[in-house]
Structure 1
């Protein structure tokens, strides 16, 4: 078994090999010679800041001694938070998650460290060290898994927020794991968590879940709004990410969207009316006025959408005039293409009108937030529906081009349903694909299959 030299032995060896005195080395690393002497002789415990200076002076990578530091100065001694805390922060800066994980086990054997580790995780999150923060949240959550605590719920909420990404299969697992903890959060975190859950499930087209959590958000928001304005109390010491009334109105908007998506257009219209009339809102600040304007615009647009979905195609010209033409135009154009496919309408002139925006934002990138995932999923559905529109119009070359675009993007986010729909649509029109298009589609499908490691491939389906 190989014996690893102690840190102080390595220092002595370096000084001897390079013919440097202790005093000279202390001067090089700007450290008091008495302090350095005590470290080398073993009479003084070494701090991580001293270790970093010594390591830099020896021209070694900054984390060179970190594994040995854990063994010599943390594991084999009584836990000392004043020493451990700076070391964990330094590991976070250097992304040495393995070292953080190694330190966690002995610390969490003592419950007194749970709180300080949770507070450190919160601070690391604010500082942008997301991987390190997630690791701390995981360990704190594991240590409190048998407790019905708010801190456990907050850890799970933070992990949920950090883990939402492009992979929709992973997003589904993440959301399902977080669901049981929502009710344990305080009012502020719970409102935002319900909003985030509804958005994730919206991106997954799980409309029963969207409706369920939007309803919970609506009820909680109404209770808190009444308490704030009738008892004049603050909702909590925390600050909501949006004005309180927004959660109530947004819940109505999401319920309307869920109802329209499954064909329940009458209930959807009732929910649209719920956020159309916001005369009950008492606040008059600029932020409130901004959101009131947003909901007024959304209500107008979604009323048109509701009419279109029940077959009132006379609403299409008015709806198109209200399309913003902004960055996230795909959600609005998706409705146009859906109506065209459903009721066999020619929308070439509309697509031509927004051609520049479509091209400009085709390759847009998005952040890993719940709301951004909705936008990304809508973008993919747009390309899929546009492919279907062109294939039905017998414009096969462009139709297959749009379909391959949809397939590739669906593969990036591992959206099994959209991948299956793309495969099914191609199968439906494959006889019209020339050999080159056949090869391009199968190549794209193979790439998606390999990326997502689906042993038996995807099932074919139609939509």
Structure 2
């Protein structure tokens, strides 16, 4: 349910569902502690992942929703909470792995949040982080380009630094990778347009259209089509032909 609400960018719903998940985790944990304190065996509540994961995930999604709603301090508070998840006492190996996973997520999301609110002094540090963590690169570059347009930063050198990695990611084909790449190319188009390179912007939109089609995401496709039409006068004949070919595929 959380994933669906995030997909539809319904941030108030994300907050609501994340709170429900948090309360469910809290109730199960308290029940386990009470039974153990009385010498009873803990109830069997099978979950795909350790209970601690769902606690961290609820906070991560709340932080994301607050960030999208512009509530920066609330987002920071959520990040601080899931950065340190050792609140359940002694942890087994699987739970220790969850703690490590969310510590990493908290660091990545803290950088993204601060860049989004215009902390340009963190750019070099963030780029260093992205170099060490390839799995964060596409999302990180998307965040940087969005901030660049918003605050007037020129980030061509950063884009160039990761150009080979982006090409490699673009070749790979799976649903999660394609969605991240779609967001990258759409935001890159906004950046190229802002940099007054309209044909480069069109090229990025065509890449985004291709990925939107592969994802089967109608609203993504419509968003791209609208952006292409706003740039049509600057597109080359070859780019217009490719766009028309995409339209025929989805008819």
Superposition TM-score, scaled by structure 2 size: 0.88
The 1:445/1:341 distance shift into structure 2, 3 A limit, reads farther
Determine whether 1:198 maps to 2:2. Answer: yes
| Alpha-carbon distance in 2 for matches of 1:379, 1:433 | 22
Determine whether 1:407 maps to 2:215. Answer: no
- For 1:270, the equivalent position in structure 2 comes to 77
- For 2:186, the equivalent position in structure 1 comes to 384
CA deviation string 1:393-448 (max 9, x = no partner): 12233322211010121123232332222122222222211222222223223323
| Alpha-carbon distance in 2 for matches of 1:347, 1:235 | 54
| Alpha-carbon distance in 2 for matches of 1:334, 1:277 | 27
Determine whether 1:258 maps to 2:92. Answer: no
Gaps of 5+ in 2: none
| Alpha-carbon distance in 1 for matches of 2:110, 2:59 | 13
The 1:317/1:295 distance shift into structure 2, 3 A limit, reads same
Selected match of 1:365 from 150, 155, 173: 173
The structure that has the greater radius of gyration is 1
Q: Within 5 Å, which residues of 2 pair with 1:270-289? A: 270-289=77-96
Determine whether 1:339 maps to 2:147. Answer: yes
Task: Give the C-alpha shift of residue 235 in structure 1.
Answer: 4.3
CA deviation string 1:110-165 (max 9, x = no partner): xxxxxxxxxxxxxxxxxxxxxxxxxxxxxxxxxxxxxxxxxxxxxxxxxxxxxxxx
- For 1:241, the equivalent position in structure 2 comes to 48
Selected match of 1:329 from 137, 151, 154: 137
Selected match of 1:354 from 162, 187, 209: 162
Aligned CA-pair RMSD: 2.1
Greater RCO, 1 or 2 (C-alpha within 8 Å, sep 6+): 2
Size of the aligned set, in residue pairs, is 246
| Alpha-carbon distance in 2 for matches of 1:437, 1:275 | 45
Task: Give the C-alpha shift of residue 327 in structure 1.
Answer: 4.3
Selected match of 2:118 from 296, 305, 311: 311
The 1:406/1:250 distance shift into structure 2, 3 A limit, reads same
- For 1:110, the equivalent position in structure 2 comes to none
| Alpha-carbon distance in 2 for matches of 1:234, 1:311 | 48
For the residue of structure 2 that corresponds to 1:280, the secondary structure is coil
Conserved in 1, the CA contact under 8 Å of 2:21 and 2:58? yes
- For 2:98, the equivalent position in structure 1 comes to 291
| Alpha-carbon distance in 2 for matches of 1:400, 1:211 | 36
Task: Give the C-alpha shift of residue 296 in structure 1.
Answer: 1.2
Task: Give the C-alpha shift of residue 219 in structure 1.
Answer: 0.9
The 1:325/1:401 distance shift into structure 2, 3 A limit, reads farther
Task: Give the C-alpha shift of residue 220 in structure 1.
Answer: 0.6
Q: Within 5 Å, which residues of 2 pair with 1:133-212? A: 197-212=1-16
Selected match of 2:17 from 180, 204, 213: 213
| Alpha-carbon distance in 1 for matches of 2:139, 2:10 | 17
- For 2:247, the equivalent position in structure 1 comes to 445
For the residue of structure 1 that corresponds to 2:134, the secondary structure is coil
| Alpha-carbon distance in 2 for matches of 1:213, 1:297 | 23
Selected match of 2:34 from 216, 223, 230: 230
| Alpha-carbon distance in 1 for matches of 2:218, 2:55 | 32
Superposition TM-score, scaled by structure 1 size: 0.50
